[in-house]
Amino acid sequence: MPKATWNGVVLAQSDDTIQIEGNHYFPQQSLNLEYFRPSEEHTVCPWKGQASYFDVVANGKENPGAAWFYPEPKQAAQPIKGRVAFWKGVRIED
């Protein structure tokens, strides 16, 4: 079962991830919300739409913008609506 970990904690775990462009998108309900804080950061993907970010905070350390999601993805990216992906040192283990 895919699991996202960082700084000694499990951020998310689910057997229902979707892989797009090499990233696992986890269902939002699989997140351990105690480690997430909304970020003001936003970026735009031409085919997925506007991304929003979470900062990850665990064991006294912060990883700004380490998780992202598309609140209102474009039509082509609808399968990732309600899902979160990771980067910036977050490990995905199968």
Domain range for 33 is 3-93
What is the CATH number for 74?
2.170.150.40
Tell me if the pTM is above 0.75: yes
CA dist 53 → 85, 88, 89, 94 (Å):
10, 12, 15, 23
59: phi then psi, degrees, rounded to nearest 5 = 50, 45
pLDDT digits (tens, 9 = 90+) for 28-67: 999 999 999 999 999 999 999 999 999 999 999 999 999 9
Number of domains making up the chain: 1
